[in-house]
Structure 1
Amino acid sequence: MERVATLWIGKRFSFLEHLCLKSFADVDQKLIVYHYGDLEDIPDYIDVRDAREIYDAPEIYRDPINRSVAVHADLFRLKLLQKTDYIWVDADIYALRPLTAKDGYLFPLGNKKNQRLINSVMAFPNDSPSLQAMCDFAFDSDLVPPWWPDAHKQAYLKLYGKSTYWSLPLFSLGPPMLYYFISQSGEMSRGVPRAELYALPPRFRHLWNDPDMSKLDFLDWQNKMSIHFHGSWFRKIFADAQSLNRGALVDHLLRKHQIDPNMHPI
């Protein structure tokens, strides 16, 4: 069975991460969790490894304003895909069944209107042209996004002088980069329908805690591959474990996987 892997920067998991990590173990696809040595909360249903095996960066890149580690995660993801044949998953991805790639590929089709491609579940073969192009851009270029209009590039360079991981808009090395290079390489046809990997679109997140779980039946979510629980929204909805409604989707899944939210608060 194919291996899946994620990165965690921090000392502990909330019940969201425990739920998602355990979901992989319970479909017999044990998850590898890479970390930089500060993880204290290690359940027996994950395989923990040193993140430096994949990306031995001089520092953990954090956004200078909000301290987000999204940029570091984006860079780590590229290195993981380049060095291994693992499937990358964000730590807030819940497995409905084992994740499987076809010919080494697993990613959702991009949004042509917004020119974005969700990057929370991803795999590429090592010889993928788009993977090579993304790594070249992220690690061996001037970091000026080629998908930007010329006027945008000029204004950006006039303001910053040069491009760095810190001056790039947050998430530049995520969805817009993926859409651009995968489209350029002609590999977009390798993608799967978004609903296969993201079974519950975020516009329905208010139903995660609805006591009537049947309201989600129209999405046929149980026959998909995975759910993305969007950590930032999840934490707002379930900041207090007491807010969990009995019978709602999240309550149902926590009970299914025997995760006690009170033991692992948000």
Structure 2
Amino acid sequence: MARPDLRPVASLWIGDRLTWFERVAIQSFIDHGHRFILYAYDPIEGVPAEVDLRPADEVLPRPERDLSDRARRAIFSDTFRIEMILKTDAIWVDTDALCVAPFEPVDDCFFGIEKHTGVVSNAMLRLPSDAAVTRDLHRLLTASEPILPWLRKAKRIELRHARHRGERWDMTRFRWGESGPRALTFYLRHHGLHGRAFARHVLYPLNFPLNTVLFEPSYTLSAIEQPGSLSVHFYGGTKHRMRELGLLTPPAGSYFEAICARHGIDPAAHPLPALPAEERAAP
């Protein structure tokens, strides 16, 4: 049962089914007392019974463009979470983020440093809905022909000239991550909020896009869940690597097996989808 003193957490799923990879992450929040809201545009198989499944149209209308492209899907997700923060009191969490302890924002802020360079990830995020940082992020992500304020001055001038000539573009023009961690970090620094970010070990103890340690039998719970950690971010690259290796369920003795047992998830009932043979890694 959800604890009334805890904020709800929420995410968006684009797809037709959840695997054990997402289910264990979702269940971990429920087990720590959070209400979990999952937004979706279409029916989903494998949603845990305790999840509050909601129409994503409540936050943002269904996108007109196809989201099969990975970059476009990521940008839409970055935009969706800011819209959700503006309209609800929920904390955004990616469906590959495990809850190790309850999430409790301070002054409506909840975010953490992901890399030694000070980059703040938006995988777990809460900002004040009426704050300038939130408004600036929303303005950038919903702009036509956006011009990123952290680009070199010459590049910004070039883009302004292009806009004046009638050229059209959106956030897909820019590098991966510019609409997410890069934008968030820039505006947090600009508005003097970067210092409120949790240290790396709190939300991102494993800050790599591919974490083989999560499915290797030699790594224990204590080696991964550090003292003071509130979360472990799996990263989608880890899931893809397991599929490349033909590992559709957690190997025996692995961290993934341990957390599935801890949260009552049966991986065999919701395995990862197999890749075609030509896409699998060589033995």
Residues in 1 aligned to 2:58 and 2:150: alpha-carbon distance in whole angstroms: 31
Q: Give the letter for the 2:260 counterpart.
A: L
Deviations 1:60-90 (A, max 9, x none): 56375x5651011011011011111110000
Match of 1:51 among 53, 56, 59: 56
Residues in 2 aligned to 1:260 and 1:117: alpha-carbon distance in whole angstroms: 33
Contact kept? 2:225, 2:232, Cα under 8 Å: no
1:72-151 aligned within 5 A: 72-109=76-113, 111=115, 113=117, 116-140=119-143, 142-151=145-154
Deviations 1:239-259 (A, max 9, x none): 534663322111111122222
C-alpha change, 1:143 and 1:176, in structure 2 (3 Å) is: same
Residues in 2 aligned to 1:146 and 1:91: alpha-carbon distance in whole angstroms: 30
User: What TM-score comes out, normalization by structure 1 length?
Assistant: 0.87
Gaps spanning 5+ residues in structure 2: where? Answer: 1-5, 273-283
Gaps spanning 5+ residues in structure 1: where? Answer: none
Q: Percent identity?
A: 25
Q: Give the letter for the 1:91 counterpart.
A: T
Contact kept? 2:46, 2:270, Cα under 8 Å: no
User: Could you say what secondary structure the match of 2:10 adopts?
Assistant: strand
Contact kept? 2:144, 2:169, Cα under 8 Å: no
Question: Residue 154 of structure 1: CA displacement?
Answer: 4.9
Residues in 2 aligned to 1:170 and 1:257: alpha-carbon distance in whole angstroms: 33
User: Could you say what secondary structure the match of 2:175 adopts?
Assistant: coil
Residue 192 of structure 2 corresponds to residue 189 of structure 1: no
Residue 180 of structure 2 corresponds to residue 174 of structure 1: yes
Contact kept? 1:210, 1:249, Cα under 8 Å: yes
Counterpart position of 2:67: 62
C-alpha change, 1:146 and 1:77, in structure 2 (3 Å) is: same
Question: Residue 231 of structure 1: CA displacement?
Answer: 1.6
Deviations 1:82-131 (A, max 9, x none): 11111000010110111110110000137574x63211000011222211
Deviations 1:123-150 (A, max 9, x none): 0112222111111222246411111102
Deviations 1:203-256 (A, max 9, x none): 882321222234x64565264101100022223125534663322111111122
User: Could you say what secondary structure the match of 1:85 adopts?
Assistant: coil
Contact kept? 1:21, 1:91, Cα under 8 Å: yes
Q: Give the letter for the 2:57 counterpart.
A: R
Q: Give the letter for the 1:90 counterpart.
A: D
Q: Give the letter for the 1:72 counterpart.
A: F
C-alpha change, 1:68 and 1:252, in structure 2 (3 Å) is: farther
C-alpha change, 1:61 and 1:145, in structure 2 (3 Å) is: farther
Q: Give the letter for the 2:140 counterpart.
A: F
Task: Kindly indicate whether structure 1 or structure 2 has the higher relative contact order, using CA contacts under 8 Å at least 6 residues apart.
Answer: 1
Residues in 2 aligned to 1:159 and 1:259: alpha-carbon distance in whole angstroms: 52
User: What TM-score comes out, normalization by structure 2 length?
Assistant: 0.83
Residues in 2 aligned to 1:111 and 1:181: alpha-carbon distance in whole angstroms: 17
Residue 259 of structure 2 corresponds to residue 253 of structure 1: yes
